[in-house]
Structure 1
Amino acid sequence: MHTESPYVPLELLASQILSRLPVGSLLRFRCVCKAWRDTIDGDESFHREHLHFQKTSLLLAPQVRHYMNVYWGRSITGLYRWEPWSQDAVTRVPDMAGDDHTLRAGEATHDLAHCDGLVLLPSEATLRVLNPATRGILRLPWSHGIKVPFGGLNHLPSHQAFGLGQDTRSKAYKVARFFYRSIYKLARGYQYTLEMEIFTIGTDQQWRDVKKPPPYPIKPARTATFCKGSLYWTVETLLLCDRTSMPGFVRFNLEDESFSVVPAPNWFNSLKSFAVPRLAELQGQLCIAHSRHTIMSIEIWMCSSLDDNTPPWDRRFVIPMFNLHVSPKAIFDDKIVCHLGTDSLLRYNFRTGERVVLDMRKMYDPKHGNRDNGYVAGTIYENIPSAVYAFDVIPYVPSLVNV
C-alpha cells in the first residue's frame, strides 16, 4: 500500500532544521530546489535566525614583516579558525579568488573587524569586506580619504581608522572610515581637521560624508569596536592640548550617524598614551582590560548601560598575572579568552582559576599537520615562509550574510 510522505512547509523546515546546520552544508543544499536556494541565498530573516544558532570562535591572522625601502611593512598571509574547545588545532580558511583574504606587503597596518560573519580587511589604500564561510568578497570603492593629510602624519602610524557594524533599525551593515584631512604641529599642540565617511553595504555606490566631524581626534590604525548598534574608537590624546584629562571614547551611532562621547573608567586617566588598552565587545557589553603591575593582575572591566550619562563600569574578572598588552576576545561558558602579547592566547577559567597560555605560532591544521613524539609538523609558523612576528585575533561567527 502506497502512502504519501507528509508535507513539511518550507517555513517550518527552515526554522527547525536548516537554521541549525553549518554554512557549508547549506551551500551544498542550494541545489535541492529553487525554494531552498532562494531561502539560503537571499532570505534575510532566515540569515538572522541561522546566525542565532551559530557558535562563536576566533579568527587568527598571522602577520609577517617585510622590509620595504626605509621602513617595515606588514602582510597577512591567511586566516585560521580556532574553536574554544581546541588546544592547538586550527582550521585554515580556504583561499579566495585573487587572494583577497590576505593583505600584501605594506597593507596590513590596521586591525581586522568582525560583525555577524563579515570580516573587514582594512589597509591604507584598499578596503575589503569578506564572508569567509560563503567566500563572498566586496571591494569598497576608492575614497579621497586615502590621501596623506596636509601637514604630514606628524609621527602618527597612519591617518585613518575604520569600523564595521550593523544599523539596528535598517539591519544594514555599514563601514566607517575616519581620517585626518590635515595635521599641523604648532608651538603648543596641534591643529587638525577631522572627517568621517560611511559606506552602506548593498546600498551605496560610493562613500558618503558624515554631516558633523568627530568631537575628538581618533587613534589612527586602531579599528573600532562594534557594540549595540554603535562603533567605539579610542581618542588620540597625543594631539590634545590638555593631556591630563582623558575624554573617554568616541561613539558613532550607525542608525542616525551621529557622534557622542562615552566616559571611560576612573583609572583610565592615569594611563600613558602608549599603554592605552583596546576596547572589546563581550556578550553585548563594552569591555576593556586594565593591567596593574602593582598587584601583578589583569582586571577586566565591563559596561552594560552605554546610554547613561555616567555609564557604570564594573570590574568583572581579575586574572592573577601581568601582561601590559592584553585584549579580551570572547567568553565561552566559564572561560574568557584574551589575546596576550603578540602571539599568544590566554584561556582563563574564572570559576576554577585555571590558566592556559597557547602559542599561536605552534597551532596547526590537522588536515595538513601531524604529531610525532610531541613534535607538531605543519604548524602556522612552519607553513609561512617568512617569520611570523604577530597575530591579529577577532571573534568570528560563520554566517550566510551577503556582501
Structure 2
Amino acid sequence: MSMATADPCPCVVIAPQIKAADGTVTTAGFYRWEEGQEAATLVMDAMPDYQSFHPYTEAAHDLAHCDGLLLVPTAAAARVLNPATTRVLELPSSVAPPPPPLPSGRILGHHAFGLGRDSRSGAYKVARFFYRSLDEVELFAGGCTYTYALGAEVLTVAGVGADHRWRETAAPPPCPVIPGRTATFFEGSLLFTPHERVLGKEAPGFIRFRLDDEVFDVTPGPPRDKRIDYGSSSLAELRGELWMCVNNSTSPGIGSVEMWACGDLAGARWELRHAVKDFVFHGHRSLRPVTASAGAILLRYGPWHLWCYRRQGRQPGYGDVVNMRFLKYQRHDHNVVEYQKETIYTLHVIPYIPSLVPI
C-alpha cells in the first residue's frame, strides 16, 4: 500500500462518512494523511452533526478548502473550520427557504457552496447558490423538463469586511448548478458545475463567481470535438493551474479520461496534458483530481481509492492505488480506528496545508 516516491504529493485530509442504522450519514472526523504513510492522523474531531445527510432525501455535499480553512456544508447550513487552531465558525442559516423536494426524487438538494479568497481585499468568503423554486413537468413522450428560479448569496468569514452575514448578490446566477457539488476555488473565483438536466440543453461552461466584485459569468470548458458531460467531470486547482478530468463514459464500464489544464481563466486557454485509455469506471464522476507534485497527480478513484498517476518519464501512467478503507486512522490518544469494520458510506478527500488564518 506504500506510495512513497522521490517527489510525494502534498498531504490531504480524509473525512470518513459513517452510515448509521437509520440511514443518516455523518462525518467521523478529519484525518491528515501523506503519501507513503500507513496511518492517517486525527487533526480535528467532528461533532455528531458534521456533514449529516440522508442519501435518499438530501444531496451529499463535497468538502472544500482554502489556505488551511475547511468548508463543511450540510443540508441546512455550513461550517468553516481551521483544524490548526481548532476554531469552528457556524454560518448563519439562510433566510431563503428551500423549495419543496421533487416528488420523483430525480434531483436531491437545493443549494451548493463554495469557499475562497478575494484577490483584491484578501478576505475569505463563502458563496451559496440556491434554487428559489424548482418544478418538474412530465412530458407526454416520457422524460421531463424543469422550470426554476435561481438565487445566490455571499458571506465574509475572515479578513477585511468580515461580518458573518449573508447578503444576496445583485444579479442571480446565469445557469442552474448541481446541488451539493461544492465549487472549485481558482484565481480569485469560485467555479460551480452547471446542471444540464435542469437546464435542458448543453451548458455553455462553468458558472464563475468572482469574489472581488461578487458577480457571475461563464467560463468555457476545454475545446473538445465531443460535447462535455459536466456532471461526470471534475475540477481541481493543482499547482497554480485549473485541472479538469473529462470522462468519456457516463456510466460504469470501460472508457477513457482526459486531463486538461488551464492557467488563465480570462482567456480560458485549456491544454490537454494526459489521456488515460481503457479506464474502468466505478460510477458517476469516478476520477477526480485532488492534489499534485511535479512528478505525480493524486486522484480520487471511485468511492474508496486514491490513485497516484505518474506524470513524468518516458511512459507516464498507472501508479500505486491506496484503498482508504484499509488505512489506519489514529486518534489523539494513539488508539487506532479501523473504519472498514463500520458501515462506510464514502470518504471525502481534500488537499490540506495548515495555516493560522483566524475565523
TM-score (norm 2): 0.83
* Structure 2: gaps (5+ residues): 1-8, 140-144
Q: In structure 2, what is the Cα distance between the partners aligned to 1:80 and 1:169?
A: 32
Structure 1 vs Structure 2: percent identity of aligned residues? 39
Q: How does 1:265-276 map to 2 (within 5 A)?
A: 265-267=222-224, 270-272=227-229, 276=232
Name whichever structure is richer in strand by fraction: 2
Q: Counterpart of 2:197 in 1: which secondary structure?
A: helix
Going from structure 1 to structure 2, the CA distance change for 1:366 and 1:200 (only over 3 Å counts) comes to closer
Cα distance in 1, alignment partners of residues 242 and 257 from structure 2: 17
- Rg: which structure is higher? 1
Instruction: Give the C-alpha shift of residue 83 in structure 1.
Output: 1.2
Deviation of 1:110 after TM superposition, in Å, equals 0.5
* Corresponding position of 2:269: 312
Q: Name the CA shift for 1:297/1:155 in 2 (closer, same or farther; >3 Å).
A: closer
Question: Is 2:14 the counterpart of 1:60?
Answer: yes
Match of 1:213 in 2: 172
Deviations 1:72-104 (A, max 9, x none): 4321111111113x24321112426xx279334
Deviations 1:118-160 (CA, angstroms, capped at 9, x unpaired)? 0001011131100011101101112123x33157476311001
CA contact (8 A) 1:108 1:122 kept: no
Deviation at 1:204, TM superposition (A): 1.7
1:334 equivalent among 292, 295, 299 = 295
Counterparts of 1:3-402 in structure 2 under 5 Å?
56-66=10-20, 68=22, 72-84=23-35, 86-95=36-45, 99=47, 102-104=50-52, 106=54, 109-145=60-96, 147-149=97-99, 152=102, 155-186=106-137, 189-202=145-158, 203-241=162-200, 243=201, 245-267=202-224, 270-272=227-229, 276-292=232-248, 296-308=255-267, 311-320=268-277, 322-324=279-281, 325-352=286-313, 353=316, 355-365=319-329, 378=336, 380-382=338-340, 386-402=342-358
**Distance in 2, Cα, partners of 1:173 & 1:83:** 26
Q: Residues 187-216 of structure 1, C-alpha deviation per residue, up to 9 Å, x if partnerless? A: 663221100010101422421000100000
Structure 1 residues without counterparts, runs of 5 or longer: 1-54, 371-376
Q: Deviations over 1:311-336 (max 9, x none)?
A: 22211123455143100111123111
- What residue is the counterpart of 1:32 in the other structure? none
Contact 1:252 1:260 in 2 (8 A): yes
Q: Give the drift of 1:348.
A: 1.6
Asked if 1 retains the 8 angstrom alpha-carbon contact of 2:102 and 2:136, the reply is no
> Which structure shows the higher helix fraction?
1
What count of residue pairs does the alignment treat as equivalent?
A: 329
Deviations 1:328-382 (A, max 9, x none): 1111231110000001000122124351000001111467899xxxxxx945425
**What SS is found at the alignment partner of 2:135?**
strand
Residues 42, 332 of structure 2: 8 Å contact kept:
no
Distance 1:345 1:397, change over 3 A: same
Letter of the 2:17 counterpart: Q
Residues in 1 aligned to 2:59 and 2:228: alpha-carbon distance in whole angstroms: 27
1:165 and 1:230 in contact (8 A); partners too: yes
Which sits farther off after the overlay, 292-301 or 350-359? Answer: 292-301
Q: Counterpart amino acid of 2:339?
A: Y
